[in-house]
Amino acid sequence: MKLSLLPEEKVFKDPVHDYIHVRKQFVWDLINTRAFQRLRRIKQMGTSDLTFHGAVHTRFAHSLGAYEVMRKLLNYLSRFWSDQPDDFVAVAYAAALLHDIGHGPFSHAFEKAIGSRHEEWTQRIIREDEEIAAILAELDPSLPDEVARVYDKTQPVRYPLIRQLIASQLDVDRMDYLLRDAVSTGVTYGRFELERMFRIMEPHWEDEGDVPTTIVLRPSGIHTVEQYLVARYFMFTQVYLHPNTIGSDVLLEKILRRARRLYREGRLSFVPRALVPFFRSDAPNRELTVSEYIALDETVLMAAFHEWQHEADPVLVDLSSRFLHRRLFQYVDFPGEEAVEEIKDALAREGLDPDAYLAVVRRDNKLFGDFSGVRVLVGGQPVDIVELSDIVHALRQQAKPIHKLYYPDDIPAVRDAVARWVARGE
């Protein structure tokens, strides 16, 4: 495989990395595909912009950023290991650039409502999208499969190092999004020293191959990686899991479930063309084609919410309007099953469907308590960071599960019912 160069390097001006540099022709070609351009219309942080108004940056920007982190990191690694084969570089660049290509609109809330899974779509798009698969296959017929397998941990890969750099706790995905989300929202929490992270990473061989199998951290870099993991912890607790963002996700999921039900019952008058296959299918990951899948983005959903304000179903009208005009549900710490039943009764007495207006949210503490793949070389042997750092150990302890009740506090009877239970609990 020989990766041809662009006549002249292309750059993208970027608020995080200053410039994103593209010299390989195939990278440029991948960026210009429809499937990749579609990421311009999917926000990186889903509904978070309803809480942090700066959080409107896109998965397009983040995907370029993840690629740029990979490019810079391989450049650093070339100090230890300079003869990086072209097929290694091709898989690494493509896997970084395309790691989010399968994301749907408002990722998690949409997936929960519809039952699709972006990880599988990422693989399907890489293997099946007529533009993307062709660009990769032209370099080497096995390349689409090679790239797609990077994301599937059940499959062996030729270069385990790439999988680590794409899908571990120390991957180019996190390194870009922590910085980017911090810059966009305006918080300092997510900042860490990216170049110093590169400097403490060292290639490590666990076999006789030409290509190292893993990255380990130098012992001198423990505090640097602590800073990175602490940044991640703060971004999760302060930004990603902000209760208002959970609330806007709840609302979105309720809208989609309601609209799909109405559609299936023949009671929805407007449905955007691109949404039809999703509403019709019980197994979208299996049943939809790639081109059906990538036809959908957040602008289509948002415009549907506009139209749904004019449907006959008052619940869909109300929920859609709430989302557009940001009248989010309120929340309390979970008050117990008995309380929930009583609040449901209050809703029912108002003629409101509890399925549409009440949500109990649980999130366990696995979200940022995972430190897999972060290993430090101690006496020639990679050792898990958790065993070496009390802070990292504490981060794991710290991760408290979330258990909350979301409800509309602009309905007096509901608000009062909640208030009674909260008062009793104190």
Cβ of residue 8: shortest distance to its own copies, in angstroms? 9
Compute the distance between CA of residue 230 and CA of residue 216 in angstroms, rounded to an integer: 19
State which residue, 262 or 296, has the beta carbon closest to its own copies. Answer: 296
SS3 content of the chain, % helix, strand, coil (to 5): 55, 10, 30
Q: With contacts defined by CB under 8 A, how many residues of the chain interact with its own copies?
A: 73
Which residues inside 88-127 make contact with its own copies, applying CB under 8 A? Answer: none
Q: Which residues contact 425 (CB under 8 A, 6 or more apart)?
A: 335
Which residues inside 134-193 make contact with its own copies, applying CB under 8 A? Answer: 183-189, 191-193
Which residues inside 376-415 make contact with its own copies, applying CB under 8 A? Answer: 389-391, 393-395, 397-398
Which residues inside 222-281 make contact with its own copies, applying CB under 8 A? Answer: 223, 226-227, 230, 233-234, 237-238, 272-274
State which residue, 146 or 318, has the beta carbon closest to its own copies. Answer: 318
Q: Which residues contact 155 (CB under 8 A, 6 or more apart)?
A: 149
Cβ of residue 369: shortest distance to its own copies, in angstroms? 11
Q: Is 18 in the site for its own copies (CB under 8 A)?
A: yes
Q: Is 287 in the site for its own copies (CB under 8 A)?
A: no
Cβ of residue 218: shortest distance to its own copies, in angstroms? 11
* Choice from 3, 10, 14, 28 touching its own copies (CB under 8 A): 14
Which residues inside 193-212 make contact with its own copies, applying CB under 8 A? Answer: 193, 195-196, 199
Cβ of residue 182: shortest distance to its own copies, in angstroms? 9
Tokens of 16: 């995080």
Q: How many CA atoms lie within 13 A of 175 on its CB side?
A: 28
Stretch that binds its own copies, among 44-52, 276-284, 346-354, 358-366 (CB under 8 A): 44-52
Cβ of residue 366: shortest distance to its own copies, in angstroms? 16
Place of tokens 């972006």: 118
* Choice from 26, 30, 46, 52 touching its own copies (CB under 8 A): 52
Which residues inside 319-378 make contact with its own copies, applying CB under 8 A? Answer: 324-326
Q: Which of 91, 75, 59, 68 is nearest to 12 (CA)?
A: 68
Cβ of residue 18: shortest distance to its own copies, in angstroms? 6
Cβ of residue 290: shortest distance to its own copies, in angstroms? 15
- Contacts of 160-165 with C-beta under 8 Å, sequence gap 24+, read 160/213, 160/214, 161/203, 161/211, 161/212, 161/213, 161/214, 161/215, 162/88, 162/91, 162/92, 162/95, 164/214, 164/215, 164/373, 165/70, 165/73, 165/92, 165/96, 165/215
* Choice from 6, 276, 300, 402 touching its own copies (CB under 8 A): 300
Q: Which of 129, 76, 425, 406 is nearest to 294 (CA)?
A: 129
State which residue, 295 or 405, has the beta carbon closest to its own copies. Answer: 295
Burial 234-273 (b: 16+ CB within 10 A, else e): bbbbebbebbbbbbbbbbbbbbbbbbbbbbeeeebeebbe
Compute the distance between CA of residue 177 and CA of residue 190 in angstroms, rounded to an integer: 9
Cβ of residue 375: shortest distance to its own copies, in angstroms? 19
State which residue, 345 or 410, has the beta carbon closest to its own copies. Answer: 410
